Amino acid sequence: MIARRAADPRVRLDTAQVARIVGVPPRRLRQAVGAGLVTPRRDGRGRLRFDFVDLVLLRTMRGLLEKRVPVRQIGTVLTSLRRQIGERPLTRLSVYADGRRVVAWDGASRWQPDSGQFLFNFDAAQVIRGARKVTRLRVPVPPRRASELSADDWYDLAIELEESSPLEARAAYHHALDLEPTHVTAHINLGRLLHGDGNFASAELHYRAATDVEPVNGLAWYNLGVLLEDAERPNDALPCYENAVRHQPDLADAHYNLALLYEQAHRQRDAVRHLLIFRRLTHRRR
């Protein structure tokens, strides 16, 4: 099951808002649009309306836009990067102008996207220790700003990306959790994506993180139960379903799965009780 928030994740931002968040002049944004680097929609009056997908891509290119790198060259760089990084999310990179050359940095290595040539890192140990210590190097990584995306923004972006680009969606959920490790629905949705990929161990960690933060979250318990059943651990799954229906009594699928496990455990009375509840709940939906 999918955790969703009531708010519409398809947020549309105007040119002035995006210029403030990204930190580049509106004129440069319009140049980027004209060159096809991003393809925002237009409203009924023809005004540009950017979504969070556009925003993240622009933030990746911010270092080049700030240095007045020609937009045609930026387009060539992005094409090369997509070919070079394969399935890795483009949004996990930093791209900037170092003198006359364009450099990409993924947290461990630096290279020139146009040639693919890797650059020797004189202080690789510091880079590996994390982005916070990179400022000691001569790498112009922009400092964090109050206008940067919040955990909820990254969460909304992840929902937006799930169908079209699940890899990017997972990266966005990770960004949300980097900013807010107790973001319950981000844990649930990331767990669900990992579960779908067959990565049971990582999915279980995120489901359990959600239940640790919010023990009364029935959906987190239900998803954890489904995962444990898929991992052929029915004895561990049963108490998860019990917690799910205890905290969210109208969770019909949890009652149904619980009934099946009770039947396997020869607890016929409990099995019949939850099967009746399941039928009553599903009948209400018709």
Among 211, 215, 216, 222, smallest CA distance to 253 is for: 222
CA distance linking residue 113 with residue 155, whole number of Å: 29
pLDDT for position 246: 94
Task: Report the run of H or E that residue 42 belongs to, with start and end.
Answer: strand 41-42
Q: Is the per-residue pLDDT at 188 higher than 80?
A: yes
- Higher pLDDT: 269 or 139? It is 269
Residue 133's pLDDT band, with cuts at 50, 70 and 90, is very low
What are 41-65's pLDDT values in tens digits?
A: 888 888 888 877 777 777 777 777 7
Average pLDDT over residues 82-102: 66
Q: Which residue has the higher pLDDT, 100 or 161?
A: 161
Q: Which is more confidently placed, 26 or 168?
A: 26
In angstroms, rounded to a whole number, what is the distance separating the alpha carbons of residues 202 and 199?
Answer: 6
Give the Cα separation of 133 and 138 in Å (integer).
Answer: 11
Check residue 129 and give its pLDDT: 35
Predicted confidence at residue 119, as pLDDT, reads 54
Check: CB of residue 196 under 8 Å from CB of residue 227. Answer: no
Place of tokens 């489904």: 226
Greater pLDDT, 136 or 180: 180
**Distance between CA 112 and CA 80 in Å, rounded?**
10
Q: Is the pLDDT of residue 191 over 70?
A: yes
Integer CA distances (angstroms), 39 to 16, 60, 72, 137, 141, in order: 16, 15, 15, 35, 26
Given a cut of 80, whether residue 260 has pLDDT beyond it is yes
Mean of per-residue pLDDT scores for the chain: 76
The structure tokens 């990067």 sit at: 81
Which residue is it, tokens 């094409």? 79
3-state SS, residue 169: helix
Residue 122 pLDDT exceeds 50: no
How many helices (H) and strands (E) would you count in the chain?
A: 14, 6
> Contacts by 257-263 with C-beta closer than 8 Å and gap 24+?
257/222, 257/225, 257/226, 257/229, 261/229, 261/234, 261/237, 262/238
Instruction: Kindly list the strands in the beta sheet with 94-98, ordered across the sheet, starting from the edge strand earlier in the chain.
Output: 94-98, 101-105, 110-111, 118-119
pLDDT of residue 272: 92
**Sign for the pseudo-dihedral over CA of 69, 71, 77, 82:** positive
- Highest-pLDDT range among 75-89, 225-239, 272-286: 225-239
Distance CA 46, CA 42 (A): 5
Q: Would the CA dihedral through 189, 190, 196, 201 be positive or negative? A: negative
Least confident of 2-11, 147-156, 160-169, 249-258: 2-11
- Alpha-carbon gap, residue 140 to 95, rounded angstroms: 10
Q: What pLDDT does 213 receive?
A: 92
Stretch 176-201: mean pLDDT, rounded? Answer: 89
- Find the mean pLDDT for residues 146-168: 75
Domains by residue range for the chain, with CATH: 15-136 (no CATH), 184-285 (1.25.40.10)
Average pLDDT of the residues in 147-157 = 77
What's the N-to-C CA distance of the chain in angstroms?
19
* Nearest CA-CA partner of 58 in 78, 41, 76, 72: 78
For 49, phi then psi, to 5°, come to -135, 110
> Which percentage of the chain shows pLDDT scores above 90?
25
CA distance 212 to 207: 9
pLDDT of residue 283: 76
